[in-house]
């Protein structure tokens, strides 16, 4: 194979690998019309490959779904409240006006918009029906370094900037993921004006507040049997001395240790004449382990990292497991909505 064909093959293989894990499969099922076909295949790689070959548009939509869900509630995310039960325009003059408005607002020569229907799991209920809008716009001109015939050179380059927006007609919730904070509200405003034909007043979703105070002392992490949580282990606590923002102490208790993080903290800090109460908790990392289920191999884990004041990084395997995680963060007193 020549270099170009080989590079494309390796890039496609990487795309398939990303969509073959549990989160990738959840994204595929959220957009596909061929769920029965996917169910008949033997594993995640086969399902990703089948979608890639037989429904490339659906595969691309699933990639956009995964991008939006992976970044959800993170530092690139914001949520807004729009008018309920609106119909999203998907073609014609409304779509052209939306693309033109983005081009003018962000000084982009080229704008491409993809719109698809999708589902999102809801804990204890039926999946929510969403409309997802993927927005690609051309960024400002620059250059990148590359080798041309073995010699280092510079090539003019305009990056493609991606944003994802979801709208849930039943409750009017709009969520947007975009790399620049100042662009998120404007994208939702243009979406509401051109694709929904409704007024945007700028109301945001409720703010989430995290607290680590519950983890100052040993905690049992109670759960309901039907949620399949086998164990919760706190593996790391990061501490900041009161009155000294420039210093951090990290306590890490690895999986092979026969002690809990609190036993370790008491012993290590006691040697310095200190106690956990003398420090502000600024970060905690713990793992929620789910019992194995029929049809799946072994146990699954959900790593959770809460950093103050930035929030929570819930590295999900599936959207449903993330919903279970959020449910228990609230029950355990680590999360509340303002």
pLDDT at 296: 54
pLDDT of residue 121: 83
Helix, strand or coil, per DSSP, at residue 250: strand
Would you state the pLDDT for residue 271?
A: 78
Matching residue, tokens 């809801």: 122
Instruction: Give the residue from 307, 308, 300, 297 showing the smallest Cα distance to 325.
Output: 300
From start to end of 201-278, where are the E strands? 208-210, 229-241, 249-252
Q: Cβ distance 80 to 188 under 8 Å?
A: yes
What is the rounded distance in angstroms from the CA atom of residue 183 to the CA atom of residue 137? 12
Note the pLDDT of residue 338. 60
Quickly count: other Cβ atoms within 10 Å of residue 323's Cβ: 16
Cα distances (angstroms) measured from residue 51 to each of 34, 48, 58, 93: 9, 5, 7, 31
Q: Angle at Cα 232 formed by Cα 227 and Cα 233, nearest 5°?
A: 165
- Residue 310 has a pLDDT of 65
Cβ–Cβ contacts within 10 Å for residue 223, how many? 18
Quote the pLDDT of residue 2.
Answer: 92
pLDDT of residue 307: 87
| Residue-wise DSSP of 89-135 | P-SHHHHHHHHHHHHHHTT-S-EEEEEEEEEE--TTSPPEEEEEEEE
Could you give the CA distance from residue 100 to residue 107 in angstroms, rounded to a whole number? Answer: 10
Q: How many CA atoms lie within 13 A of 272 on its CB side?
A: 11
Question: Is residue 164 a contact partner of residue 132, using CB atoms and an 8 Å limit?
Answer: yes
* Mean pLDDT, 10 residues at a time, the chain of 338 residues: 93 95 91 95 95 96 94 88 94 96 95 95 81 96 90 92 96 94 94 94 82 91 91 93 82 88 89 84 92 67 83 70 86 84
pLDDT at 294: 58
| CA dist., res. 284 & res. 192, Å (int) | 38
Question: Apex CA 129: angle with CA 124 and CA 131, to 5°?
Answer: 145
| Domain residue spans of the chain | 1-70, 76-205, 210-337
pTM recorded for the entire structure: 0.75
């Amino acid at each position: 194979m020549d270099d170009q064909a080989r590079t494309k093959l390796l890039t496609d293989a990487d795309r398939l690998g990303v969509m073959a894990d549990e989160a990738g499969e959840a994204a595929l099922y959220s957009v596909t019309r061929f769920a029965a076909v996917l169910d008949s295949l033997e594993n995640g790689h086969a399902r990703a490959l089948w979608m890639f070959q037989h429904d490339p548009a659906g595969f691309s939509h699933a990639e956009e779904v995964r991008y939006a869900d992976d970044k959800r509630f993170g530092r690139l995310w914001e949520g807004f409240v729009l008018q309920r039960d609106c119909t999203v325009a998907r073609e014609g003059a409304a779509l052209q006006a939306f693309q033109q408005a983005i081009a003018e607002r962000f000084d982009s020569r080229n704008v491409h918009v993809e719109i698809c229907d999708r589902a999102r799991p809801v804990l204890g209920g039926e999946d929510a029906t969403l409309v997802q809008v993927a927005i690609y716009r051309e960024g400002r001109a620059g250059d990148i370094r590359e080798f041309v015939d073995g010699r280092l050179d510079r090539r003019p380059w305009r990056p493609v900037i991606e944003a994802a927006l979801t709208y849930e007609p039943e409750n009017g919730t709009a969520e947007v993921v975009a790399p620049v904070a100042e662009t998120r509200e404007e994208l939702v405003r243009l979406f509401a004006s051109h694709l929904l034909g409704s007024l945007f007043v700028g109301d945001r979703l409720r703010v989430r507040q995290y607290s680590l105070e519950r983890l100052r002392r040993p905690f049992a992490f109670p759960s309901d049997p039907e949620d399949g949580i086998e164990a919760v282990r706190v593996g790391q606590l990061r501490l900041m001395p009161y009155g000294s923002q420039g210093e951090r102490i990290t306590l890490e208790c690895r999986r092979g240790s026969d002690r809990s993080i609190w036993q370790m903290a008491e012993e290590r800090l006691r040697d310095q004449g200190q106690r956990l109460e003398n420090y502000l908790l600024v970060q905690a990392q713990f793992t929620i382990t789910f019992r194995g289920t029929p049809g799946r191999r072994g146990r699954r884990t959900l790593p959770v990292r809460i950093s103050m004041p930035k929030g929570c990084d819930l590295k999900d395997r599936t959207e449903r497991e993330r919903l279970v995680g959020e449910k228990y963060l609230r029950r355990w007193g680590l999360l509340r909505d303002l």
